Amino acid sequence: MNRSLLIVLLLAGFLTGAHSLRAQSVKLRAANKQLESFSYINAVRLYEDFLRTDKQKNAAETREALTNLGFSYRKLQDTRNAERVYGELVNKYTDLNSEIYMYYAQALAANGKYRESQKMYSKYGEQQTQDLRGRRFTVSYMDVGRFFQDSSSYKTYSLPINTRQADFSPMYYKGGIVFVSARDEGGPLKRVFTWNQTPFLDLYYHADTTEIRAPNVDMLRQPNTAVLGGGSPSATKAPEIAAPVEQKLSKTQEFSRTLNTKYHEGPMTFTRDQKMIVFTRNNGSKGKTGKSNDGVRKLKLYSAINEKGNKWSNVRELPFNNKEYSVGHPAFSPDNSKMYFVSDMPGGFGGTDLYVVEYRNGEWGTPVNMGKDINTEGNEMFPYADENGNLYFSSDGHEGLGGLDVFFAELKDGVAYKGVENVGSPINSEKDDFGIITDKYRTSGYFSSNRKKGISDDDIYSFRRNCRELKILVFDAKTNAPIDQADVRIVRNGTNLDLLLTDPKGETKLCLDANTEYEFKAVKEGYALNTVRFSTLTQSPKPVMSVTIYLDKSENSIVRGVVKREVDQVPEQGVKVTLRNERDKSERTIETGPDGGYEFDMKPGAPYTITASKNKYATKKVQLPKTKTPKVVTDSLGLYGEGDVFQLKNIYYDLNKFFIRPDAARELEHVVKILKEYPAMKIELRSHTDARASDAYNLKLSENRARAAMDYIVSRGIKPNRLVARGYGESEILNGCIDGTDCTDADHQQNRRTEFKILAVK
């Protein structure tokens, strides 16, 4: 039985070649025909029958049948039979294609036979020196203990919503999870997928995660403990999977009859407000447009909008779909500014690669390959971006325990600057592990796997991570008294993370990540800022540890604030904030974390400037006021970014007019001020009309209005080459006042508006 319909969904679009040769035997020819039509279960039956019974077969036919039989078992994720067939090939023949050694190595690893797998990877590496997998896995399997280093910190649980068919790729949605399933919900017509004779995939929804998540008793964290992952002494064996908790469940239901069709619907992602979904689906077009030139319905990405209740509408293809290659498995970044996805489009590094595409103001950019630090000669898929903007994905090309393993990459400016990390056992196993979703510090979440403990096929599991607790104590250096309400900033690799607050005992707590170096910075008005470092690179047997930060009284002032995007006032992470003492020219720099916060201390009487910079944002520089006495200076910074669109709310026009009214002139002065502050910024002035009058008239009127706004700004000393004027007519109505709708003049006036979009910041 196929235990991983995950691969069926993915490879239905991604892997299309069948290894078939012209054969004389009728039975072999029939088996090859089934292989070429992707009917792998039928192909397996016919190949096995041919090898067992056909007395007329010659040596070439036997070799061909074994090669194609191994390929078919591989497609069906039947690793035990794949191991058997590839083992027979390796024992019988010495002139095999290098890929046979790779497939054999992968089957052995998936069956937990790492020493034997290491030998096959070594043989593959000897023949394919440019493919780094051979060398990487040969070295990795010398000691697999590193994959179990933190395993005792976790417990995993099989979910009670799993069925005997495939259930995988959960995604958080309105207090529950949406997931992919091949479950058969009954009905007069049962559709099955030819590849493995299983039902087609659809989207399902379980509304309450409290019914299915791992029990809270497994969390050792106290209520006032900040969570930053966990860690414990290394383990040599993964813990057993706990049984699901016995309780009455609410009904798991079909997610949307609008989105579910007769084809596969697969992994999905939602925008932060959960009003937009992007999901995977087979190409549903009919005739020649439905299949690629090699006869396969490739995977595509579609979006839909949910404006009222749970009714999804306006299903649209994404603009970078293509019938000749697949795109799928989407994942929005936490701020919705970009989306990660998987594709086998030309120009990649391996079978399937991860790509990223910008998404701003409803418009999609051009997909970009995430590069060789993420992608390998194998397959990367199932991306997920956590709340910190870091990336999880599954891969069979990076070193792992076998099959697909889950990996983590900490991103900085879209680059995995520290490489990728295998998250280890028990989330990973020798089988396929994928489709993880979790909180920002991987303390709990869900993932998918076809490991032995599952009911039958791919199943969804929950996990929880135990807490390795660290106490942070802040004391007065002179009196040794605890300091209440002191801020403790957690810094890792030069990046600000959480901001904790001490209690009356001067204490705060957090759960530690393994193999991590920390810096803790204590800040309190009237005291000099002080830091301590702490490392978990070496293991400690103590269940609870502590560090103490002593603060000296000081005449220094403190500057603190939050960096936000001007367009929506959302805190921006990954911003370099630099405090410069203009007297002695000394500088200190920190990178903002998810809360966008920063803190520095300043010497009294000295002139300081503070600068915030990030790629594709205009650099913000502010001169801070001199301080004579100790105080807290709050100076939050706003950033303007490329692609941001601002509505000038007070710019309205009289009906059928395009001259600038006095109220509009006052608002345009705000734009002039911004352009003078950022002399490299270029903007587009976008004018809109209401729906009254003809489309052509409104388009011309809006062009005149945009030009009038541009002329006014030019008259205030801004160079014309920094401005673009464009009219959009009535194409982007805000409030539903379209042709034929009865609206008041006030409602129509809301649509007679001007916006400006930032085209470039330098």
Confidence of residue 418 (pLDDT cuts 50, 70, 90): confident
- Residues paired with 279 in a beta bridge: 268, 302
Choice between 298 and 121, residue whose per-residue pLDDT is larger:
121
- Rounded to whole angstroms, the Cα distance separating 588 from 442 reads 31
- Residues paired with 549 in a beta bridge: 474
Does the structure show a pLDDT above 70 at 599?
yes
- Rounded to whole angstroms, the Cα distance separating 174 from 270 reads 10
| Intrachain domains 5-145 and 151-465 with the same fold | no
Q: Among 179-193, 257-271, 698-712, where is mean pLDDT lowest?
A: 179-193
Question: Per-domain residue ranges for the chain?
Answer: 5-145, 151-465, 555-641, 645-760
Residue 283 contacts residue 265 (beta carbons within 8 Å): no
Q: What is the DSSP string of 112-181?
A: T-HHHHHHHHHHHHHH-TT-HHHHHHHHHTT-GGGGGTTGGGEEEEE-TT--SS-EEEEEEETTEEEEEE
| Most distant CA atoms of the chain, gap in Å | 100
Confidence of residue 542 (pLDDT cuts 50, 70, 90): low
- Position 331 scores a pLDDT of 97
Please state the CATH superfamily assignment of the domain spanning residues 5-145 in this structure.
Tetratricopeptide repeat domain (1.25.40.10)
Q: Which of 678, 601, 657, 659 is nearest to 633 (CA)?
A: 601
Residue 613 contacts residue 579 (beta carbons within 8 Å): no
Reading across the β-sheet that carries 405-409, which strands appear in turn? 380-385, 391-395, 405-409, 421-422
CATH-assigned architecture of domain 151-465:
6 Propeller (2.120)
Q: Which of 284, 292, 288, 274 is nearest to 336 (CA)?
A: 274
For the chain, give the percent of residues with pLDDT over 90.
Answer: 57
Residue 243 contacts residue 154 (beta carbons within 8 Å): no
- Position 136 scores a pLDDT of 92
Does the structure show a pLDDT above 80 at 219?
no
H or E element: which one contains 632? strand 632-634
For residue 336, CA distances in Å to 359, 360, 407, 412, 497 come to 7, 8, 22, 16, 20
- Helix ranges (H only) for 641-724 are 662-677, 695-715
For residue 205, CA distances in Å to 127, 161, 178 come to 47, 10, 4
Class of domain 645-760: alpha beta
Does the structure show a pLDDT above 70 at 238?
no
Please state the CATH superfamily assignment of the domain spanning residues 555-641 in this structure.
Immunoglobulins (2.60.40.10)
Q: What is the DSSP string of 254-315?
A: ES-TTT--SS-EEEEEE-TTSSEEEEEEE----GGGGS-TTS---EEEEEEEE-STT-EEEE
For residues 45-49, give the mean pLDDT.
94
What letter represents residue 720's amino acid? P
For residues 376-384, give the mean pLDDT.
96
- Position 539 scores a pLDDT of 59
